[in-house]
Structure 1
Amino acid sequence: MMKSTIISTLFSALFLLVVLPCAANAYPVDTVEIVNTGLGANELVSVWGGGMDGSAGGVYAGVYNLYKTDGSGEGKLWSNGTISGFCTELSELAPEVTTKYSVIPLQDGPLSGAMGTKKAGYISELWGRYYDPSWGGSGSFNWLQDAKAAAFATAIWEIVYEDLPSTTKKWDVKFDGTAGAGGFYTDFGGASLANSFLHSLDGTGPMANLRVFSYNGSQDYIAQIPEPTTIVLLGLGSLSLLRRKRKTN
């Protein structure tokens, strides 16, 4: 009996990891219900591009704390509670009430226009190389955490809004290199740090498993899927707790 229970638990974990992501390609069932509860490490910066003209008093560059209360499909891969996300739509507002977002592949976001696989690859590597979980949450942050989180956010916006350069060494968050109405730049004091992040991207760094939370009418966000091993361990931990309860009965 116990052996069959273990097999059932492992099968459930594998179902979450393998079957649901595949099914998501056919059915739009991947959702998270989230609300913005504040900011993690961040700085207020002036930006031009993405619907902003530098005159709105600035935007918050850094971590958005998104509180999740429910989800379906891939959305269940995140536990209920706070998820750290980075905004990808500068002209939209953060959700002030709980809102059901679609969970979509990184290359298909943001809602205003799919970034494509190459940009998605750069953001995955950027996240894998430089993202620091200590930037999230509601605690106090030192100046270095704020500066790094803001530089990270502006690097994401550079990738999302600018045309792809011939080499990553030509990315520059202080200069709009895109012709026409597109493009992005900032006079942010940590621009040099953002550029150093971007210039290091060469396809050899660790790649984070990311998704976009997308909703028409509010900011879209990039968030990292929890490690698969964590999900399996959570399942096994629940099984262990169940076994202990049975022994005490």
Structure 2
Amino acid sequence: MTTIRVGAWNVHEGVAEHGDVAGECVERVLDERIDLLALQEVPFPADRGLSPLLARLAERTRLRHHARNVLSPAWLVPGMLSGVAVASRFPIETTADTVLPNPRLESGGLRSFDKGAVTAVVKAAGQVVAMTSVHMPPFHRFGERADNPELGYIWDSLARHLEPKEGELTVIGGDFNTPHRGLLLERIEAELESSVSAPTHKGKAVDDIVHSASVKRLSARIVRTFSDHCLCVVELGLA
């Protein structure tokens, strides 16, 4: 059986109390032998050029290919931008991105930024794999519930973007900002499975790797890092 190791990681815009953030990202990728990595809160320069973090991964690890979707101003680093990305060991054949509807929530001077997803389609072990990085709005920050029916249109929009094409294996890594995976999985016709149920951020299971049910999950683990979100790592058997 051929296996791949996939990861999902909200990197907190590269902000840490101390240490070399990019260096730790490289170290984690190497230690966990990650082949495909879905990243959220990736820092980008104001000119929307290459993220220094993605550049370091390309230089020091096997993740030399990337797809990105720059979404909004960074909320932790003035003058920078923030977005999602997929870093891949395999050459990327096609990409697709989406910006989700912004609910325009406000609370205590904070406004909801644009969130979204980016998909990279690769070939691995003779299989076509569509790897997506997702970042959903932090509904709780504004006193809203992620399962509020009035916000369902945001989940509908994401589900339309993620509906698998024929012959593709689906892998979705993301910060869903809720432990309720059914808000997405029940909106997608294809059968998908969640991998991570352990708390990944402030005691809640908000980060996950979701994959096609036809793929065999061999292992799943979380790794605590500099970020306020754990790195999720799942090993999948493709054939």
By percentage of residues, which structure has more strand? 2
TM-score (norm 2): 0.27
By percentage of residues, which structure has more helix? 1
TM-score (norm 1): 0.26
Larger CA Rg, structure 1 vs 2: 1
